[in-house]
Structure 1
Amino acid sequence: MAVVVIGEPAAQPGAALPPAVTAAFEAVGLRTHLCRPGDGDPLPATLTGADALVLACAGPEALPLLRAALAAEVPVLALGGGAPLLDRAAAQPLPPAAGADPLRGAGEGAYGHGFRRLGGSAWALPGPLGDPAGAAPLHRFAALAAARAEHTATRAFFTPRADAWEERFAYQAPAYEAAVARMRLRPGQTVLDLGCGSGRALPALRAGVGAGGTVLGVDLTPAMLTAAARAGRRGPAGLLVADCGRLPLPAGAVHGIFAAGLLDHLPQPRTALTEWARVCAPGAELLLFHPSGRAERAARHGRPVSPDDPLAEPNLRPALDATGWQLAEYEDAVTHFVARARRRVRASRCGGSPGG
């Protein structure tokens, strides 16, 4: 994990980065990568691998990277001379952030010393870099960057790809329809597509639950849901920005979950399976899907199939068993991967065993 710091040329007065800046990130396990474009240091081509962006210069060469960070909601902190560039990058007003400001301490009023928030992921501290008044918000920013690291990585990867996602993978729509057909959906039920992307499964899910059912596409990356809406998927389904490991839904509200290419990319698959079981009613269907098999995907990436793959049956079956699911169907073919499980019926208070 790394924080990209864009600084002034070393010869500029006051260009030295205060040790407190580096120390704030090291304290939460984030290393800093200092780039000085004015001295010929290349800027990162993408934000992949960047947990945050700290801007301490006003050079226009950083504008493309800064705009990409704002679009992907990568945490941004503009210090000193970087504040005017942040304003320039956010030429269009950023949407107001919901909830309390995580960089404002409990009981604190409005920011002093020029510190301000722009949207949900960017802050500016126009004062001197060594200003002690900025120490508290700097440490809070570092803690926020560390806490958001997993979300940042996902959004940084998918945001620049979202516009072309539907066109690139539209040919897979029939495979998604065939996978959804394996779910035993009934009219009037509630079904989720977790990590829905541009929503290729949403029309088939709507067909399964009918006009009286509820279909919800959930994705962590707002740009992917924008792509889904552009592809006409807002009609068949509601679209929700949310973490699939912390769903804003009541217990037992869902009758089916479709998840394509998701579980094996999560840092804690069992935690996610537990959360999915929480929101599902007994007997609910879970379908894990990928439009290619595990061996084909591994070969495409130039590596062997890993025995630690969460989708390998010896790993998946006990993970499902431990989190309230029962594996009903497992198929790892060349052309697709499907694992279908059913939410166990909860044990009765009299000590009965969970049903299948």
Structure 2
Amino acid sequence: MAVLVIGDAPTAAIEAAGLRIHPCRPGADDPLPATLAGIDALILSPGTTLAALPLVGPALAAEVPVLALGEGARLLTEAAGTDGTGGGTADPLLGGGSAPHGFRVGASAWGLPVPDEADCELLRRFAELVAGRAETTATRTFFTPRAAAWEERFAYQTPAYEAAVARMRLRPGQRALDLGCGSGRALPALRALVGATGTVIGVDVTHAMLTAAARAAAGPGAAAARRLRAAPAVRSAVHGIFAAGLLDHLPHPDTALREWARVTAPGGELLLFHPSGRAERAARHGRAVSPDDPLAEPNLRPALEAAGWHVATYEDAPSHFLTRATR
């Protein structure tokens, strides 16, 4: 995990959290990276210059954590188009008593126009936040700049998604989740199963992907793409979960399977899908199929059973991967 520090800022608390510092000091011939790839957070120190502005906008769009101090805070307000007002009384980073003149932009950026150099507690809290969000930040950084063109690039896979969704035993009036819905390729097919009286919710951690999904679902009777931020879904609230290319990218797949079972009604369905098989995907990335792959049948079947699912179908064909399980 790397934190890009532009200018001079105290970094001891960041390094103490196990985060690697990527320094970039104006005037020291440290070039700014061209993109945020591999960057888990951004610190704009009082010495930050306008040269950093092209990185701040993408960081805000991808919800990469940003801490802006002094002149850096003014650069943050310029990139965000805000005046930088508002206190941090209820903010999890700024706290109630610390940094009363700080402000927040969106979900992942904080500014402190008058930083207190002695306040290492703020940097410690920021480091904890960065470490806790690292997996999600990497996903958002990758998908945000690609979201607008994603559906056009992979439109040829739509029939495979439709065929996979059709194998779910959903009925009109039921509720379905598309977890990791991306640009919404499966949402219309799920809507066709549950009908106008049913509910389809697309869930994704990347806001730009949800924006693309909302556009794709904008036709008559189409599903709505939403972001679930509030309390966990009610137990037994849904009748079907569709998850394409998601489970093996989660840091704790066993925990996810248990949570998915918790929110699914008895008899409800889980469909794990990918439009290519495990061997084809491994070959595409120049590696062999790993026996530790959570999607390998000797790993996936017991994990599903332990989480409260009964495996009805397991298919790992060259053309697709599909597992259907019943709650």
1:236 aligns with 2:222: yes
Mapped pair 1:108 → 2:94: no
Residue 183 (structure 1) shift: 0.7
Which protein is bigger by CA-based radius of gyration? 1
User: Could you tell me whether the CA contact under 8 Å between 1:326 and 1:342 is conserved in 2?
Assistant: yes
1:183 and 2:148 correspond: no
Question: Which residue of structure 2 lines up, in the alignment, with residue 4 of structure 1?
Answer: 4
- Displacement of 1:144: 1.5
Matched with 1:75 is 65
The answer on 1:61 being equivalent to 2:47 is no
Query: How much has 1:332 moved relative to structure 2?
Result: 0.8
- Mark the CA change 1:74 to 1:63 in structure 2 (over 3 Å): closer, same or farther: same
- C-alpha separation between the residues in 1 aligned to 2:208 and 2:90? 23
Measure how far apart 1:108 and its partner are: 2.8
Q: Could you say if the C-alpha distance between residues 183 and 194 of structure 1 is closer, same or farther in structure 2, counting changes exceeding 3 Å?
A: same
Match of 2:285 among 293, 296, 301: 301
Greater Cα offset, 144-153 or 320-329: 144-153
Which has the higher mean CA deviation after the structures are superposed, 23-32 or 207-216? 23-32
Aligned residues: 324
Aligned equivalent of 1:126? 113
Partner residue, 1:33? 22
Deviation at 1:242, TM superposition (A): 3.6
Provide the C-alpha distance between the structure 2 equivalents of 1:30 and 1:236, rounded to a whole number of angstroms: 43
TM normalised by structure 2 equals: 0.92
Q: Distance in 1 between matches of 2:69 and 2:312?
A: 55
C-alpha deviations, 1:12-60, integer Å up to 9, x for none? xxxx54xxx3221122221211112432222222222222100123322
Conserved? CA contact 1:187–1:213, under 8 Å: yes
Contact 1:330–1:340 (Cα < 8 Å) also in 2: yes
1:125 & 1:181 partners in 2: Cα distance? 52
Does 2:268 correspond to 1:284?
yes
Q: What is the CA RMSD across the aligned residues, in angstroms?
A: 2.3
Q: CA deviation at 1:115?
A: 2.5
1:90 paired to 2:90: no
Deviation at 1:139, TM superposition (A): 1.9
1:43 to 17, 32, 35: 32
- In structure 2, distance between residues paired with 1:278 and 1:38: 55
**DSSP 3-state at the match of 2:154:** helix
Aligned residues of 1:253 and 1:280 also touching (Cα < 8 A): yes
Paired residue secondary structure (2:191): helix
Contact persistence 2:87–2:103 (CA under 8 A): no
User: Which residue identity lines up with residue 17 of structure 2 in the other structure?
Assistant: V
Separation (CA, whole Å) in 2 of partners of 1:67 and 1:44: 14
| Alpha-carbon shift at residue 155 of structure 1 (Å) | 1.0
Unaligned runs of 5+ in 1: 8-15, 344-356
Aligned residues of 1:77 and 1:123 also touching (Cα < 8 A): yes
1:329 corresponds in structure 2 to 313
CA distance in 2 between partners of 1:264 and 1:146 (Å): 20
Percent of aligned positions that are identical: 69
SS in 2 for 1:100: coil
What amino acid is aligned across from residue 172 of structure 1 in structure 2? Q
Inter-partner Cα distance in structure 2 for 1:247 and 1:313: 33
Q: In structure 1, what residue type is equivalent to 2:107? A: G
Post-superposition shift, 1:232? 3.1
